[in-house]
Amino acid sequence: MRKFASHIGRLTRAVARKFARRKDGAAAVEFGIVVVPFLAILFAIIETALVFFAGQVLETAAADAGRLIMTGQAQKLNLNANTFKNFVCTRIFGLFDCQAGLQLDVRTYQSFANATALKPIDQNGNLDTSGFTYQPGVAGDIVVIRLVYQWPTFVRTFGLNVSDLSGGKRLLMATAAFRNEPYTP
């Protein structure tokens, strides 16, 4: 019995050494272990880059729209909230569902100290645009433009969630604050 156990022990060690030397399936097993976290991080990087790119496009549109108000062109053309939004939408084509998703708030203030540009999020994490208005002001007024968009996010696993609104959406907000130029009406 002792001889048999010794033989089994040697055989087990020999099979273990032989199995340890085999390399033909190691790459597949290692790839299987690494592929899920790798793809999650890759898609999170792509999504983060898209969020930053979309934010930059929105910032550029806010600056362009701000120039339209600051120079008095919007006031001279008697643009209302809808026609002003249409102008903004011509600046952000392709990335956004502009007509259905973009919200804009244009307000005048007495001083820059009184101007606010807080995130319009309620206590439940929902976007609250109930107080948004369109007031382009007149020459010399201080104006703050806020463009707000709910960007959908997709990668929400492994702690890689970039959403800050309920429903897995990210609030993109672009702001431009300026004093209207002394244009003639």
pLDDT at 93: 76
pLDDT at 37: 85
pLDDT at 53: 92
Reference 155, options 35, 33, 51; nearest CA is: 51
Residue type, 103: Q
- The answer for residues whose C-beta is within 8 angstroms of residue 122's C-beta and 6 or more apart is 128
pLDDT means per 10 residues in the chain (185 residues)?
64 70 72 86 87 92 93 92 91 83 91 85 83 90 92 74 76 91 82
pLDDT at 154: 80
pLDDT at 23: 65
Sheet holding 103-109, edge to edge: 103-109, 142-152, 169-179
pLDDT at 1: 56
Query: DSSP string spanning 144-174?
Result: EEEEEEEEE----STT-----BTTTEEEEEE
Element (H, E) at 21: helix 2-21
How far, in Å, CA of 42 to CA of 46, rounded?
6
How far, in Å, CA of 152 to CA of 130, rounded?
21
pLDDT at 180: 93
pLDDT at 175: 92
Q: Is the dihedral of CA 183, 138, 98, 164 positive or negative?
A: positive
H runs (alpha helix) in 71-144: 73-76, 81-89, 98-101
